[in-house]
Structure 1
Amino acid sequence: MVKRVHIFDWHREHAKKVEEFAGWEMPIWYSSIKEEHLAVRNGVGIFDVSHMGEIFFRGKDALEFLQYVTTNDISRPPAISGTYTLVLNERGAVKDETLVFNMGNDTYMMVCDSDAFEKLDAWFNAIKRGIEKFDDIDLEIENKTYDMAMFSIQGPKARDLAKDLFGIDINNLWWFQAKEVELDGIRMLLSRSGYTSENGFEVYFEDANPYHPDPSKRGEPEKALYVWKTILEAGEQYGIRPAGLGARDTLRLEAGYTLYGNETKEKQLLSTDIDEVTPLQANLEFALFWDKEFIGKEALLKQREHGLPSKMVHFKMVDKGIPREGYKVYANGQLIGEVTSGTLSPLLGIGIGIAFVKPEYARPGVEIEVDIRGDLKKALTVAPPFYDPKKYGAFREE
C-alpha cells in the first residue's frame, strides 16, 4: 500500500510531478528542481517532509535504552534539543541516521527516514521484548509517524520568516535546539534543523491524516493545510517556494550530506562479522561516542583494527557529464569504486557526486575517472561542501 502525507491532495493539485519515493507518494517538483533549489539557496523554500518517521520513547528507562541502541551520547543535550545519532545492526552497518530529541520528563522523539521507521520500530520492540524476558523495563515505544505532520522551512530568509511567525530568532538557537511554539493556537515543536545545509527550521505537530493506514484513525487534517498555507502566505514577501524531493536531494548533495539507502545502509551480510556500510566507511565517526556500549561497537572496533574495504569521497566533474548512482569509478586505469549519489549542481552548473572508493583514493585532490555511458570522464575528489561556504549555507558571511 502506497503511503500518503496529510496534505497529499494539495500536492497532487499543485505539483507538476508526483511519484512514489520510499513507499510514499510524494511531490518531486512544483515548478522545476532548479528553480526550487535556487529559491532555497538564495531566499526561502518550504518542504512537506511528513513522510519522515517519528518514534517516541517514554519511561524511566528510555534514556538507558536509547544509549544502547544508538551510537551518540543522547544524555548530553538538555531538553528541548536533539542529537544526531546512528542506529546500527550487530555487524556495524547503518540501519538509519536519526535525530533524537530530548523532550523532557523521560520522553524522547526519534526522527528517522521514511523508508526505515517501520524497520526501526520492529527492531526496537524486539530488543525491548528480549530485555523483558530477564528484567523489568519502564519503557513505552510508540510509532507516531502517521499522526505527525512535519514541514521544513529552509534558506537565508527562513530567519525572517521565523521572526514573523513565531517571534523567534533562530540564529539564537544552537543547531538541533528546539522550542515549543504556537501558530494561531496550534501548538508545535520548532527545531533549528534541516537537510539543505542552509539556515532554517522545522516544525512538528499532530494532526489527523486522511490516508492513515489504520481506517479507524483516518480524518480530515484540521491543522496541516492551515499551517502550510499560512507559512506560504507569510513567506510571499520573501519569495517563498514550495519545494519537492527533487530539490531536497540536489541541495543535500551540494552540501555533501549522506542519504540513507545510498551512502548509508545495511546489506544484511549474515555470513560476515562486519556488514556494509559502516559509519567508518561513510565518514560518520563524529556520531560515535566510544565511551559507552552500543549495538555494533564491537564490529566497528574490529573494522578499525583490520582496515576499511572502501571509504566515501566527494568529487566534481572536470569533463562535461552527470554522474549517477551505480556508475563505476576508475583511477590510473583501475576500477576503484562506484558512485552512490550524483547530479548536475543547479548552483554550480557542473556534475558532482559521492562515491565509495578504495581507501587510498579517499582524500581531496585525487584525479579520478567516472564511466558515464561508456566514456571515462575526468573528475577530481574534493572536500565538501561543493559551494563556497562564505557565500552559501547556514554559516555564510552576511
Structure 2
Amino acid sequence: MKRVHIFDWHKEHAKKVEEFAGWEMPIWYSSIKEEHLAVRNGVGIFDVSHMGEVFFKGKDALKFLQYVTTNDISRPPAISGTYSLVLNERGAVKDETLVFNMGNDTYMMVCDSDAFEKLYAWFTSIKRAIEQYTELDLEIENKTYDYVMFSIQGPKAKDLAMELFGIDINQLWWFQAKEVELDGIKMLLSRSGYTGENGFEVYFEDVNPYHPDESKHGKPEKALYVWEKILEAGQKYGIKPAGLGARDTLRLEAGYTLYGNETKELQLLSTDIDEVTPLQANLEFAIFWDKEFIGKEALLKQKERGLPSKMVHFKMVDRGVPRAGYKVYADGKEIGEVTSGTLSPLLGIGIGVAFVKPEYAKPGVEIEIEVREQKKKALTVAPPFYDPKKYGTFREE
C-alpha cells in the first residue's frame, strides 16, 4: 500500500483512512458533509500527494508531448499549465492530465493516482520505439513519490494565498502558476483545483518516508511544516482538513469527470474504437484538432459513425441516491448506466452522471434511475448542479 509524506498525521487525525487507487488515504476527518460545506463556504485543504508527477526534459520534450496528448501544449507560456488528455491508439482516455510548462524545455505532467504508473510505462515505451529510428533529446522521470501536492480550495482561499504568499490568485488565469516561497521553502503555486471553487495548489519536493525505494527513506523536512502552517494561517477563515470523500462530492456537484468512472480505457481489442472516448465524455474542448496525436484517427472515425453513448448530468426528482452501476431508463426502455452518484451535501438531493444513448444526452429530459429495484424519477441538467451565481469559481460576491 502506497502512502503520502505525512501519512502519520492523517492516521492520527482522520476518522476514516482506507485504500484508494492503491494508496492508503484519509477519507474524512470530521464528516464528509462538514468538510464539503467548509470548501463551498470558506476554505479547506486536501493532501493530494497521491497524484502523479511525471517530468519531461529536453529539446524534444514539447514535440513528444504534442504527440502523446490531445491539447496544444505549446500555447501557454512558462509557467502555466494546460488541461489535456492522454489517449490510447483507439481513442479511449488513458488519463486526464495537467501539463505545466516549467521553462527551459522542462514540463511537469500531473496525472491521476491510479494512472501514473501505466502512463510512465506508456511514455517510455513510445520513447524507446522512436529511438529505434531516430535520436531523441528527451528524459522522462517519474517523481510521484518525491513530490508533495496540497490543494487549498474555497472562496476564502484567495485570502489565504495573499496572507501566505502575497499573491492575488484572482489575477492569475486558470492553470497559471508562480514560483513562490514559504519560510524559505520553494514551491510551485498554481491556480487550479478539482472542487468547482476558487483555489490554488502547491507542489514541492520532500523526502517520503514511505518511498518504494528504501534507499530514499527518511524524515520529511517540509511537508508537515507547510501543512500545519497553512492550517494555522487558515484558522481565522475556518479552514478544515478535507479528505477524499469531500473531494469526490465536490467534484460531482461541479460536474467534473473522474478517471475510472467517466473516463477510462476498456481495451476492447476487437474494435478500432475503444471506450470511453473524450467525445463521449464531453471533453472535446481539450482536443486541438490542428495537430497529429495518438488516438486522433479513431476519434475522427467515431465522429463519422456517431457516438454509441454520451455523458449527461442529472438530479433526482424522487427521493433516492444514485450510485455507479445503476440502470437508466426513458420512454419505457433502458438507455444507459450511472457512472457517478451521490447525495449532494449542499442541495440535499441525489445527483449523478450517466452515459446514455446520445438522443437523451441533453438538459431537460425526464429519465428514471433504478434505485434498489425501484425506478425513481430524475431530470437531466446542465452542470454545475449548484447556482453558479452563489457558489463556485465565478460566484457573484
Q: TM-score, normalised by structure 1?
A: 1.00
Give the corresponding residue for 2:147.
Answer: 148
Letter of the structure 1 residue corresponding to residue 389 of structure 2: K
1:14-34 Cα shifts (integer Å, max 9, x gaps): 000000000000000000000
Give the corresponding residue for 1:370.
Answer: 369
Give the corresponding residue for 2:378.
Answer: 379
Q: How does 1:1-398 map to 2 (within 5 A)?
A: 2-398=1-397
1:156-190 Cα shifts (integer Å, max 9, x gaps): 00000000000000000000000000000000000
What are structure 2's unaligned runs of at least 5 residues? none
Distance 2:196 2:347 in 1: 16
Give 3-state SS (helix, strand or coil) of 2:86's partner. strand
Q: CA deviation at 1:332?
A: 1.4
Distance 1:189 1:67 in 2: 23
Distance 1:220 1:303 in 2: 51
Q: CA deviation at 1:333?
A: 1.2
Letter of the structure 1 residue corresponding to residue 198 of structure 2: N
Q: CA deviation at 1:270?
A: 1.0
Q: CA deviation at 1:262?
A: 0.1
Letter of the structure 1 residue corresponding to residue 131 of structure 2: E
1:318-369 Cα shifts (integer Å, max 9, x gaps): 0000000000000011000000000000000000000000000000000000
Give 3-state SS (helix, strand or coil) of 1:202's partner. strand
Letter of the structure 1 residue corresponding to residue 58 of structure 2: G
1:67-121 Cα shifts (integer Å, max 9, x gaps): 0000000000000000000000000000000000000000000000000000000
What are structure 1's unaligned runs of at least 5 residues? none
Distance 1:170 1:386 in 2: 25
Distance 2:170 2:363 in 1: 31
Letter of the structure 2 residue corresponding to residue 306 of structure 1: R
Give 3-state SS (helix, strand or coil) of 1:316's partner. strand
Give 3-state SS (helix, strand or coil) of 1:95's partner. strand
Distance 1:70 1:276 in 2: 17
Letter of the structure 1 residue corresponding to residue 115 of structure 2: A
Q: CA deviation at 1:132?
A: 0.4
Letter of the structure 2 residue corresponding to residue 17 of structure 1: K
1:188-222 Cα shifts (integer Å, max 9, x gaps): 00000000010000000000000000001111100
1:296-323 Cα shifts (integer Å, max 9, x gaps): 0000000000000000000000000000
Letter of the structure 1 residue corresponding to residue 350 of structure 2: G
Letter of the structure 1 residue corresponding to residue 155 of structure 2: P
Distance 1:218 1:69 in 2: 33
Letter of the structure 2 residue corresponding to residue 150 of structure 1: M
Give 3-state SS (helix, strand or coil) of 1:128's partner. helix
Distance 2:190 2:331 in 1: 46
Give 3-state SS (helix, strand or coil) of 1:20's partner. strand
Distance 2:286 2:120 in 1: 21
1:134-171 Cα shifts (integer Å, max 9, x gaps): 00000000000000000000000000000000000000
Letter of the structure 2 residue corresponding to residue 253 of structure 1: L
Quote the sequence identity (%): 87
Give 3-state SS (helix, strand or coil) of 2:386's partner. coil
Give 3-state SS (helix, strand or coil) of 1:289's partner. coil
Letter of the structure 1 residue corresponding to residue 176 of structure 2: Q
Distance 1:286 1:238 in 2: 35
Distance 1:392 1:277 in 2: 30
Distance 2:195 2:339 in 1: 18
Distance 1:365 1:235 in 2: 41
Distance 2:148 2:359 in 1: 44
Aligned residues between the structures = 397
Distance 1:164 1:177 in 2: 19
Distance 1:395 1:378 in 2: 31
Q: CA deviation at 1:264?
A: 0.0
Q: CA deviation at 1:271?
A: 1.1
Moved over 2 A (4+): none
